[in-house]
A and B are shown apart, each in its own frame.
Chain A
Amino acid sequence: MLVGNAAGTVPCLLGAYLLTFNDAQLGGLGPFVALPSLFLVPFLIGFVAAFVWRPLHLGIGMTLAHSATCTAIGLVSAGLFLGEGIICLIILSPILLAGVMAGALIGRLVFRRKKNSLVLCFAPLAILALVEPGLREPHTGAVIDEIRINAPPARVWPHVLAFDEIPDPPDYWLFRAGLPYPTMTTNGGNFVGASRACHFSGGAVFEEKVAEFVPGQRLAFDIVKSPPDPELIGHLDAYRGQFELRDNGDGSTTLTGTTWYALQVRPAWYFDWWTHDIFRAVHLRVMNNIKRLAERGS
């Protein structure tokens, strides 16, 4: 079990180690050899583990049970030795478990047939696991949310610029599990280029710079510095945000919040779903607070 995990972890550690060099030292190959593919590494962990488990003659149920244990060891190891955050590991665990199980079940059949060899035809998978990430571009996207506020834009706008500590406890399950959530926003000036800061729980701060300022209508900002959070580093980069107000003409305002982001992890469809779910929770926490403040003011 441990050998299987170790075999899968080696390329991860190699990739992480190579990332500590700068690109010139690696001749531009750093990104090419780092961050092994998310699907293939778990598959290889299970596949190699099945090779090691051959003498145990495991049935299907025991293979699945060993795969689950193997996955747990992998997750704990990633937390301890690779510095991964617990939320990332929660998000990663279904893919890791499915990959390890698939690799172990296939390996079980393959090694039952060819009892004494590691089957070199699967070697290209190991190479692909290292090479594939270097071939991909960062995946970019935007999360857009909209709420209606029963107050005119003039009452909403001041609370868009800055607000004190949000009194509501977090209601999103990942916030309750430890994912930092927005608590307050400070504003360094009402002009393009002014500094802003969005404070999250646990002392995390996103430093921002105002990129567009149209009073009562639009506030856009670039996120110039993200907190050094293991849940974000190397995975997700939120690089721009925007609030837009639309006067509904009936004394109410439609507030639209947008966050632009770049994903470095794959599969994009999977992590995109999580990114939207998390950013939506962030948006709604902030926007519902703005709604509460604006409607109370009216």
Chain B
Amino acid sequence: MFHFVVHRLRWLTHVPLAPQFFDALLLAWTALVNRPRLRAIEALESAAFELPGVAPCLHRFGGIGFAHDGVEFAHLHGNGLLDVHLTRERAAALAATGRAAPHHVFGPSAWISFWVRSPTDVNAALGLIEEGARVIRLNEKASAPGVGRLES
């Protein structure tokens, strides 16, 4: 369902609030049918916002955004799919070892995708978010302007 909407109904992102409605429904569905995953999402969110300089933001396609100095570098969808912006080399290395997958829309790029399915995935996901925050801090002076214009 998620993949169908993301790939086939992409035009919905142009309808104000539609992605947010969709992600709210995803979260509600997760809460109803997969409590361990919801617990993992909650745990990851709490831990990520404890990281220095990491603040919440609205991801424009719905979900919980993670930003540093107003620049989004990661987001977590309501079904537990975490997308993190790293470097191309690091993303490729993670994908090669199977520790993460290429981004679910962009494919091979500086973005990786990681499924948070249960509380046992939280530490690995948090590690990726920490790494994303580190990368964005290093890139700050290169004036990365926003998620839509980050290297993909």
Contact = CB atoms under 8 A, between A and B. Distances in A.
B27 A105 contact: yes
Interface in B49-101: 49, 55-58, 64-65
Interface string A53-68: 0000001110010000
B31 A39 contact: no
Interface string B19-36: 011011101100100000
B41 interface: yes
Contacts, number: 52
Contacts of A59: 42, 45-46
Report whether over half of chain B's contact residues are helix, strand or loop; otherwise say mixed.
Answer: helix
A270 to B, nearest CB: 12
A296 interface: no
B105 interface: no
A26 B25 CA distance: 39
Interface stretch (A95-103, A218-226, A273-281): A95-103
A101 B29 CA distance: 12
Given A98-B21, A105-B20, A64 B27 contact: yes
A113 B57 contact: yes
Contacts of B23: 102, 105
Given A61-B42, A106-B58, A43 B27 contact: no
Interface residues of B, number: 22
Nearest to B42: A59
B133 interface: no
A112 interface: yes
Interface in A41-80: 43, 59-61, 64
Contacts of B136: none
A232 to B, nearest CB: 28
B38 interface: yes
B12 interface: no
Contact of A61 (B25, B31, B58): B31
21 contacts: A39-B17, A39-B21, A59-B46, A60-B38, A60-B41, A60-B45, A61-B38, A61-B42, A64-B28, A64-B31, A98-B25, A101-B27, A102-B23, A102-B24, A105-B20, A105-B23, A106-B20, A106-B58, A109-B64, A110-B58, A113-B57
Given A60-B42, A112-B56, 15 more contacts: A59-B42, A60-B38, A60-B41, A60-B45, A61-B42, A64-B28, A97-B28, A98-B25, A101-B25, A101-B27, A102-B20, A102-B24, A105-B27, A109-B57, A109-B58
